[in-house]
Amino acid sequence: MRFKNFTLLFLMGIFGLFTTNLFAQQDATISADEITYWVGEGENQVVVAMSWCSYTETALAWGYRFDGEATVFQALTDIAAADSRLTVIGSAPTNVTYVDDVYNLTMCPNPDADWGDDDYDVPMHSVNGLMGQNMMAAEPIHNNDFVKIGGVACGIMSSDWTTISWSTEIMPATDPNAGEDVIDATISADEIVYWIGEGENQVVVAISWCSDTEAALAWGYRFNGEATVFQALTDIAAADGRLTVIGDAPSNVTYVDEEYNLTMCPNPDAEWGDPDYDVPMHSVNGLMGMNMMAAEPIHNNDFVKIGGVACGVMSSDWTTISWSTEIMPASINTSLNENQSMTLSVYPNPASNETFVTIENAGLTMVSVYDIQGRMVSNMSVEAEAGEQVRISTESMSNGVYFVRVSNDSVVRTAKLVVK
């Protein structure tokens, strides 16, 4: 009996060793010297490799630098914040995607799949070849660590669950800004045609639109004392009726004349990186703004640029943003007197159920309402008579501040509306 038990235990041990070696695979690695795209700054550095299994087996690696303490999840999300091709969803995370001109990779479990299925692709991680002992957000990393994140569907775990391996050859992730050679378009003060304001200080303000039609126009702005990017932008819009600024971030910047109908406004259903996620951003003297526009100071001879993020190219360290569209000087608004003759009266204001816009100029008129985030909530086209009142229903609008925008040919006017 003892002999039979010993033989059974011996055979089980041999089988365990056999199965462990049978399913063992070489864990692919990559050295720090091979990394081409580094994110972050600091004394510590780690290599972060990601291995996708679903549909296409691909592995890419980034470098990550930091000071003090950090975790696997912090490294992953910081890399995703710097590299728009990479997206991390969830705090576990539940989905890690990478999309560029070559790849469309997803690491996400099918909710109907079970452990062991090919599409049960839960993201897992290892540090220096050892399976993570914590959730990624609690897994510490240290200088010179090698971090690997991969789908469980193509990872091989040791029988004692101490290691997990992915054998797909790892390629260094390319720098998204390398080879772009994007030259930030500029224009000199001597080329400016239309100057607004008075004072000892002067700046050039260029605005670059990306959506539908790429165009860039520039104005000159003069002032005394202190001023901000947003003050310059709104003062220019107040003087030039072709330019409209909505929201205090702002959330929408439009320009309408006989040649252009330009809009810089994010689609509320779009996400960062989408062509229509066109949030206005700004730079001063080529450096990305460090504050909201209303808090970003400007000084004499500064060059201010405002543009949609959809066609802006950011440096990997997020210090600069460039727009390459050639900048043309904005022409003097020859229809200024006509613009001033078109008054915009909104009554009642505040409104509860409805309000009326009185339009003085006859003709085909577009009446639009935007919320404080720049999202269009109402839009209509009417053939207005001189002095006609156009009704706007506010019943479905939440309480808050809105902007009524009226355009007639090349004339644009905006008025604030409060709904209570």
pLDDT means per 10 residues, the chain with 420 residues, are: 40 36 68 93 95 81 96 95 91 87 82 66 90 93 96 85 91 76 84 91 94 84 94 90 84 85 77 70 92 94 92 80 92 56 75 88 80 75 84 92 75 79
Write out the E strands in 360-409.
363-371, 376-384, 388-393, 400-408
84 CB neighbour count, 10 Å cutoff: 16
pLDDT value of residue 25: 61
Give the separation between CA 51 and CA 324, rounded to whole angstroms. Answer: 35
Please name the helix (run of DSSP H) or strand (run of DSSP E) that holds residue 78, with its range, or none. Answer: helix 72-82
Q: Are 164 and 157 in contact (CB under 8 A)?
A: yes
Q: How far is CA 151 from CA 58, 60, 75, 97, 156, in A?
A: 11, 13, 18, 11, 10
**Contacts (Cβ under 8 Å, ≥6 apart) of 272:** 84, 309
Give the separation between CA 233 and CA 416, rounded to whole angstroms. Answer: 17
Kindly state the tokens that stand for 290.
Answer: 């460090």
Name the residue type at position 419. V
Domain boundary assignment for the chain: 23-172, 189-329, 337-419
Q: Are 380 and 311 in contact (CB under 8 A)?
A: no
pLDDT value of residue 57: 79
Closest by CA to 236, choosing from 264, 281, 204, is: 204
Which residues, listed in sequence order, are joined to residue 46 by a DSSP beta bridge?
64
Rg, Å, the chain Cα set: 29
Q: What is the topology classification, in CATH, of domain 337-419? A: Immunoglobulin-like (2.60.40)
Name the residue type at position 142. H
pLDDT value of residue 320: 87
On whether the pTM is more than 0.75, the answer is: no
Q: Check residue 79 and give left, alpha or beta (phi > 0: left; psi -120 to 50: alpha).
A: alpha
pLDDT value of residue 393: 94
Kindly state the tokens that stand for 346.
Answer: 């909104």
pLDDT value of residue 411: 62
pLDDT value of residue 340: 44
Q: How far is CA 408 from CA 113, 120, 337, 411, in A?
A: 57, 57, 14, 5
pLDDT value of residue 2: 44
Give the separation between CA 321 and CA 326, rounded to whole angstroms. Answer: 15
Give the separation between CA 78 and CA 240, rounded to whole angstroms. Answer: 41
